[in-house]
Amino acid sequence: MVDWELETMYALRVVIAAFLGGMIGWEREWHGREAGIRTYASVALGSCVFALISSHIPDAEPSRLAANIVTGVGFLGAGIILRDRGRTVGLTTAATIWATAAVGTAVGFGMYLLAILTAFIVFGVLAAHHLPGWNAFSRNSEETNTAITGANATATPDSHKTEIDS
């Protein structure tokens, strides 16, 4: 027999996870990055559903499922990180997709405050990059650029960027 109250609670968790993931994705999409609302909402939603499924498997160990989510999303992130002309690209996208999976997993396990706080912190970290004065905190000297890329390049206003999607 279907427990509609429980199913409704699970459906609400899935919606919350998708919303929080979509919020993070909105920031990425707003700034013209490849991975956006759909990608981030899907990662959070999928992680949430896997967490919910693990709670329905008799004698299942939920920590094993969480570990597999971390591993699976890690492979997704590894496919995003590339080297392009001496620069590493995709690090921010890979890291935030991984963090978004954690948000979805937290929602799936009913850790709403943790999920919401994490989503807002990830969003804040991404948004802070676009604040005036951010360059004062970034690596933009010729020495640092040479150390990062291994090339003798002159620092430019964008040379502090180590990835296309920062």
- Give the DSSP per-residue string, 40-67: HHHHHHHHHHHHHHHTTSTT--HHHHHH
- Whether residue 161 is predicted with pLDDT greater than 60 in this model: the reply is no
Taking only the tens place, the pLDDT of each residue in 84-140 is 888 888 888 889 999 999 999 999 999 999 999 999 999 999 988 877 877 777 664
For residue 118, the model assigns a pLDDT of 96
For residue 138, the model assigns a pLDDT of 66
In terms of Cα–Cα distance, which of 12, 4, 10, 166 is closest to 89?
A: 166
Taking only the tens place, the pLDDT of each residue in 34-75 is 888 999 999 999 999 999 988 888 888 878 888 888 888 888
Beta bridge partners of 89: 82
